[in-house]
Amino acid sequence: MVSTKRITLEPLAGALGAEVRGVSLATLDDAATWDALRRAFAEHMVLVFRDQTLAPAEQMAVGERFGAPCHYPFVTGMADYPYLFEIIKEPQETKNFGGGWHSDTTYLAQPPLATLLYAIETPARGGDTLFANTRAAYDALSEGMKRLLDGLVGVNSAALKYGGGRSNMHKSIGAMKIQGTDDADALEAEHPAARTHPETGRKALYVSRSHTIRFRDMREAESAPLIEWLQAHQTRPEFTCRVRWAPGTLTIWDNRCTQHSAINDYHGQRRHMRRLTVGAETPR
Protein backbone atom coordinates (compact mmCIF):
# COMPACT_ATOMS: atom_id res chain seq x y z
CA MET A 1 0.00 0.00 0.00
CA VAL A 2 1.31 3.43 -0.99
CA SER A 3 0.04 6.64 0.62
CA THR A 4 0.41 10.32 -0.20
CA LYS A 5 -0.88 13.26 1.79
CA ARG A 6 -4.43 12.81 0.45
CA ILE A 7 -4.70 9.41 -1.24
CA THR A 8 -3.89 5.77 -0.63
CA LEU A 9 -3.15 3.27 -3.41
CA GLU A 10 -3.90 -0.43 -2.90
CA PRO A 11 -2.57 -2.60 -5.79
CA LEU A 12 -5.13 -4.90 -7.39
CA ALA A 13 -2.60 -7.43 -8.65
CA GLY A 14 1.10 -7.83 -9.33
CA ALA A 15 0.80 -6.84 -12.99
CA LEU A 16 -1.34 -3.71 -12.97
CA GLY A 17 -4.18 -1.87 -11.33
CA ALA A 18 -4.67 0.03 -8.08
CA GLU A 19 -7.63 1.00 -5.93
CA VAL A 20 -7.49 4.66 -4.93
CA ARG A 21 -8.82 5.59 -1.50
CA GLY A 22 -9.31 8.84 0.34
CA VAL A 23 -10.59 11.02 -2.49
CA SER A 24 -13.96 12.34 -3.69
CA LEU A 25 -13.48 13.08 -7.38
CA ALA A 26 -16.56 15.28 -7.71
CA THR A 27 -15.13 17.87 -5.30
CA LEU A 28 -11.39 17.38 -5.79
CA ASP A 29 -9.74 20.67 -6.78
CA ASP A 30 -6.25 20.21 -5.36
CA ALA A 31 -3.65 20.40 -8.14
CA ALA A 32 -1.06 18.38 -6.23
CA THR A 33 -3.51 15.50 -5.72
CA TRP A 34 -4.46 15.49 -9.39
CA ASP A 35 -0.75 15.37 -10.28
CA ALA A 36 -0.37 12.38 -7.93
CA LEU A 37 -3.33 10.66 -9.58
CA ARG A 38 -1.87 11.17 -13.05
CA ARG A 39 1.46 9.71 -11.87
CA ALA A 40 -0.39 6.74 -10.39
CA PHE A 41 -2.23 6.32 -13.70
CA ALA A 42 1.05 6.16 -15.61
CA GLU A 43 2.42 3.58 -13.18
CA HIS A 44 -0.60 1.35 -12.52
CA MET A 45 -2.49 1.83 -15.81
CA VAL A 46 -5.87 1.00 -14.21
CA LEU A 47 -7.23 3.12 -11.33
CA VAL A 48 -10.37 2.16 -9.40
CA PHE A 49 -12.28 4.70 -7.29
CA ARG A 50 -15.03 3.37 -4.99
CA ASP A 51 -18.10 5.11 -3.53
CA GLN A 52 -18.07 8.03 -5.95
CA THR A 53 -21.16 10.13 -6.68
CA LEU A 54 -20.71 11.47 -10.20
CA ALA A 55 -23.35 13.28 -12.22
CA PRO A 56 -22.67 13.36 -15.98
CA ALA A 57 -21.09 16.83 -15.76
CA GLU A 58 -18.80 15.66 -12.97
CA GLN A 59 -17.68 12.59 -14.92
CA MET A 60 -16.89 14.89 -17.83
CA ALA A 61 -14.85 17.12 -15.54
CA VAL A 62 -12.85 14.15 -14.21
CA GLY A 63 -12.19 12.96 -17.76
CA GLU A 64 -10.92 16.36 -18.83
CA ARG A 65 -8.16 16.04 -16.21
CA PHE A 66 -6.72 13.33 -18.46
CA GLY A 67 -7.62 14.60 -21.93
CA ALA A 68 -10.23 16.16 -24.19
CA PRO A 69 -13.40 14.06 -24.70
CA CYS A 70 -13.66 11.74 -27.70
CA HIS A 71 -16.64 10.78 -29.83
CA TYR A 72 -17.58 7.09 -30.12
CA PRO A 73 -18.91 6.25 -33.61
CA PHE A 74 -21.45 3.50 -32.88
CA VAL A 75 -23.55 4.57 -29.89
CA THR A 76 -25.62 7.75 -29.52
CA GLY A 77 -24.49 9.87 -26.59
CA MET A 78 -26.66 11.29 -23.84
CA ALA A 79 -28.94 14.17 -24.82
CA ASP A 80 -26.97 16.91 -23.06
CA TYR A 81 -23.61 15.09 -22.98
CA PRO A 82 -22.85 13.68 -26.46
CA TYR A 83 -19.46 12.27 -25.41
CA LEU A 84 -21.03 10.18 -22.64
CA PHE A 85 -23.08 7.10 -23.40
CA GLU A 86 -24.85 4.53 -21.30
CA ILE A 87 -24.03 0.83 -21.47
CA ILE A 88 -27.10 -1.11 -20.40
CA LYS A 89 -27.70 -4.86 -20.41
CA GLU A 90 -31.24 -5.79 -19.45
CA PRO A 91 -32.09 -9.07 -17.67
CA GLN A 92 -33.57 -10.65 -20.81
CA GLU A 93 -30.52 -9.88 -22.97
CA THR A 94 -27.76 -12.42 -23.51
CA LYS A 95 -25.14 -10.37 -25.43
CA ASN A 96 -23.04 -7.76 -23.68
CA PHE A 97 -21.10 -4.69 -24.83
CA GLY A 98 -17.31 -4.76 -24.57
CA GLY A 99 -16.77 -8.51 -24.43
CA GLY A 100 -13.60 -9.91 -25.96
CA TRP A 101 -10.10 -8.61 -25.30
CA HIS A 102 -9.37 -5.25 -26.93
CA SER A 103 -8.09 -1.70 -26.52
CA ASP A 104 -10.76 0.87 -27.24
CA THR A 105 -11.35 2.02 -30.84
CA THR A 106 -7.96 1.14 -32.31
CA TYR A 107 -9.70 1.37 -35.70
CA LEU A 108 -9.61 5.17 -35.36
CA ALA A 109 -6.64 7.21 -36.58
CA GLN A 110 -6.42 8.76 -33.10
CA PRO A 111 -7.71 6.36 -30.45
CA PRO A 112 -8.38 7.64 -26.91
CA LEU A 113 -5.63 7.43 -24.32
CA ALA A 114 -8.08 6.75 -21.48
CA THR A 115 -11.53 5.33 -20.83
CA LEU A 116 -13.62 6.24 -17.78
CA LEU A 117 -16.39 3.76 -16.90
CA TYR A 118 -18.80 4.58 -14.07
CA ALA A 119 -21.12 2.00 -12.49
CA ILE A 120 -24.72 3.07 -11.86
CA GLU A 121 -26.41 -0.33 -11.40
CA THR A 122 -24.55 -3.63 -11.10
CA PRO A 123 -25.62 -7.27 -10.81
CA ALA A 124 -25.55 -8.96 -7.43
CA ARG A 125 -22.81 -11.18 -8.80
CA GLY A 126 -20.79 -11.22 -12.03
CA GLY A 127 -20.23 -8.47 -14.57
CA ASP A 128 -16.55 -7.94 -13.69
CA THR A 129 -13.98 -6.55 -16.13
CA LEU A 130 -10.58 -8.10 -16.79
CA PHE A 131 -7.54 -5.99 -17.69
CA ALA A 132 -4.19 -7.00 -19.19
CA ASN A 133 -0.84 -5.20 -19.04
CA THR A 134 0.38 -5.15 -22.64
CA ARG A 135 3.56 -3.34 -21.57
CA ALA A 136 4.60 -6.26 -19.38
CA ALA A 137 3.61 -8.63 -22.17
CA TYR A 138 5.94 -6.82 -24.59
CA ASP A 139 8.79 -6.84 -22.05
CA ALA A 140 8.42 -10.61 -21.68
CA LEU A 141 8.95 -11.30 -25.40
CA SER A 142 12.19 -12.64 -26.82
CA GLU A 143 14.51 -10.14 -28.48
CA GLY A 144 13.82 -11.78 -31.83
CA MET A 145 10.06 -11.34 -31.46
CA LYS A 146 10.55 -7.71 -30.39
CA ARG A 147 12.61 -7.02 -33.51
CA LEU A 148 9.89 -8.60 -35.67
CA LEU A 149 7.10 -6.60 -34.06
CA ASP A 150 9.04 -3.32 -34.15
CA GLY A 151 8.82 -3.50 -37.94
CA LEU A 152 5.14 -4.43 -38.17
CA VAL A 153 2.12 -2.17 -38.62
CA GLY A 154 -1.30 -3.51 -37.73
CA VAL A 155 -4.40 -2.83 -39.82
CA ASN A 156 -7.27 -2.34 -37.38
CA SER A 157 -10.92 -2.56 -38.37
CA ALA A 158 -14.21 -1.70 -36.68
CA ALA A 159 -15.97 -4.59 -38.43
CA LEU A 160 -15.51 -7.16 -35.60
CA LYS A 161 -14.96 -9.86 -38.20
CA TYR A 162 -13.96 -12.49 -35.66
CA GLY A 163 -17.14 -11.84 -33.66
CA GLY A 164 -19.60 -12.31 -36.51
CA GLY A 165 -19.73 -8.65 -37.55
CA ARG A 166 -20.51 -5.46 -35.64
CA SER A 167 -24.00 -5.11 -37.11
CA ASN A 168 -25.06 -8.60 -36.00
CA MET A 169 -23.55 -8.15 -32.55
CA HIS A 170 -25.14 -4.76 -31.92
CA LYS A 171 -28.57 -5.87 -33.13
CA SER A 172 -28.66 -8.24 -30.17
CA ILE A 173 -28.00 -5.41 -27.68
CA GLY A 174 -31.48 -3.96 -27.34
CA ALA A 175 -31.18 -1.44 -24.52
CA MET A 176 -28.51 0.80 -26.07
CA LYS A 177 -28.83 3.49 -28.74
CA ILE A 178 -26.79 1.85 -31.49
CA GLN A 179 -26.02 3.75 -34.71
CA GLY A 180 -23.96 3.49 -37.90
CA THR A 181 -22.88 -0.14 -37.65
CA ASP A 182 -23.53 -0.85 -41.34
CA ASP A 183 -20.52 1.33 -42.23
CA ALA A 184 -18.14 -0.36 -39.77
CA ASP A 185 -16.27 -2.25 -42.51
CA ALA A 186 -15.01 1.04 -43.95
CA LEU A 187 -13.52 2.25 -40.67
CA GLU A 188 -9.86 1.20 -40.56
CA ALA A 189 -6.61 2.60 -39.19
CA GLU A 190 -2.98 1.50 -39.24
CA HIS A 191 -0.93 1.55 -36.03
CA PRO A 192 2.40 0.09 -34.87
CA ALA A 193 2.10 -3.46 -33.56
CA ALA A 194 4.23 -2.26 -30.63
CA ARG A 195 3.60 1.36 -29.68
CA THR A 196 5.64 3.67 -27.47
CA HIS A 197 3.94 5.35 -24.54
CA PRO A 198 4.48 9.12 -24.90
CA GLU A 199 4.85 9.67 -21.15
CA THR A 200 6.82 6.65 -19.93
CA GLY A 201 8.77 5.96 -23.14
CA ARG A 202 8.06 2.24 -22.74
CA LYS A 203 6.74 -0.04 -25.46
CA ALA A 204 3.53 -2.06 -25.29
CA LEU A 205 1.81 -4.50 -27.62
CA TYR A 206 -0.94 -2.88 -29.67
CA VAL A 207 -2.56 -5.84 -31.41
CA SER A 208 -5.89 -7.45 -30.61
CA ARG A 209 -7.90 -10.31 -32.04
CA SER A 210 -11.01 -8.10 -31.86
CA HIS A 211 -9.73 -5.27 -34.06
CA THR A 212 -6.45 -6.18 -35.79
CA ILE A 213 -7.36 -7.97 -39.01
CA ARG A 214 -3.88 -8.21 -40.55
CA PHE A 215 -0.46 -6.59 -40.77
CA ARG A 216 0.39 -4.09 -43.48
CA ASP A 217 1.72 -5.73 -46.66
CA MET A 218 0.48 -9.13 -45.43
CA ARG A 219 -2.67 -11.13 -46.11
CA GLU A 220 -5.19 -11.88 -43.37
CA ALA A 221 -4.38 -15.60 -43.51
CA GLU A 222 -0.65 -14.88 -43.11
CA SER A 223 -1.25 -12.49 -40.22
CA ALA A 224 -3.75 -14.57 -38.27
CA PRO A 225 -1.36 -17.00 -36.54
CA LEU A 226 0.77 -14.19 -35.10
CA ILE A 227 -2.28 -12.16 -34.05
CA GLU A 228 -3.70 -15.22 -32.28
CA TRP A 229 -0.38 -15.95 -30.56
CA LEU A 230 0.05 -12.37 -29.38
CA GLN A 231 -3.52 -12.25 -28.07
CA ALA A 232 -2.99 -15.41 -26.03
CA HIS A 233 0.41 -14.20 -24.81
CA GLN A 234 -0.65 -10.75 -23.60
CA THR A 235 -3.66 -12.07 -21.67
CA ARG A 236 -1.79 -14.72 -19.71
CA PRO A 237 -2.92 -14.66 -16.05
CA GLU A 238 0.31 -13.13 -14.77
CA PHE A 239 -0.32 -10.02 -16.90
CA THR A 240 -3.89 -9.43 -15.70
CA CYS A 241 -6.07 -8.01 -12.95
CA ARG A 242 -9.82 -8.07 -12.30
CA VAL A 243 -12.13 -5.22 -11.33
CA ARG A 244 -15.31 -6.05 -9.43
CA TRP A 245 -17.96 -3.39 -9.84
CA ALA A 246 -20.42 -1.85 -7.39
CA PRO A 247 -22.65 1.19 -7.80
CA GLY A 248 -20.50 4.31 -7.50
CA THR A 249 -17.31 2.68 -8.80
CA LEU A 250 -15.33 4.64 -11.40
CA THR A 251 -12.50 2.89 -13.23
CA ILE A 252 -10.05 4.74 -15.48
CA TRP A 253 -7.72 2.76 -17.73
CA ASP A 254 -4.87 3.54 -20.12
CA ASN A 255 -5.70 2.24 -23.59
CA ARG A 256 -2.10 2.74 -24.72
CA CYS A 257 -0.74 -0.12 -22.61
CA THR A 258 -3.73 -2.25 -21.56
CA GLN A 259 -6.48 -4.39 -22.97
CA HIS A 260 -9.78 -5.20 -21.27
CA SER A 261 -12.68 -7.61 -21.56
CA ALA A 262 -16.14 -7.34 -19.99
CA ILE A 263 -17.23 -10.70 -18.59
CA ASN A 264 -20.72 -11.78 -19.66
CA ASP A 265 -21.69 -13.98 -16.72
CA TYR A 266 -24.75 -12.27 -15.25
CA HIS A 267 -27.73 -13.29 -17.41
CA GLY A 268 -31.04 -12.40 -15.79
CA GLN A 269 -29.57 -9.38 -14.00
CA ARG A 270 -29.36 -5.71 -15.01
CA ARG A 271 -26.10 -3.79 -15.47
CA HIS A 272 -26.00 -0.04 -16.17
CA MET A 273 -22.73 1.83 -16.76
CA ARG A 274 -21.78 5.26 -18.12
CA ARG A 275 -18.75 5.52 -20.43
CA LEU A 276 -16.43 8.31 -21.56
CA THR A 277 -13.23 8.23 -23.60
CA VAL A 278 -10.69 11.07 -23.62
CA GLY A 279 -7.36 12.13 -25.08
CA ALA A 280 -7.27 11.27 -28.78
CA GLU A 281 -3.66 10.42 -29.73
CA THR A 282 -1.82 9.12 -32.77
CA PRO A 283 0.03 5.92 -31.73
CA ARG A 284 3.77 6.02 -32.42
pLDDT tens per residue, range 131-184: 999 999 999 999 999 999 999 999 999 987 665 544 455 454 555 565 655 566
Q: What is the pLDDT of residue 74?
A: 87
Q: Which residues of the chain have pLDDT under 50?
A: 165-167, 170, 172
Ranges assigned E (strand) in the chain: 2-3, 8-11, 18-21, 46-49, 85-89, 112-121, 129-133, 153-157, 188-192, 194-196, 203-205, 212-215, 240-243, 250-254, 258-262, 271-280
CA–CA gap between residue 231 and residue 244 (Å, rounded):
23
Q: What is the pLDDT of residue 169?
A: 52
pTM of the model: 0.92
Pairing status of strand 46-49 against strand 18-21: parallel
Q: What is the pLDDT of residue 182?
A: 55
In the residue annotation, 236 being an active-site residue is answered as no
* Spans of all domains in the chain: 2-280
In the residue annotation, 275 being an active-site residue is answered as yes
Q: What is the pLDDT of residue 16?
A: 98
Active-site annotation holder among 166, 211, 260, 271: 260
Active-site annotation holder among 104, 209, 211, 233: 104
In the residue annotation, 125 being an active-site residue is answered as no
Domain 2-280 has CATH 3.60.130.10: yes
Active-site annotation holder among 102, 233, 256, 274: 102
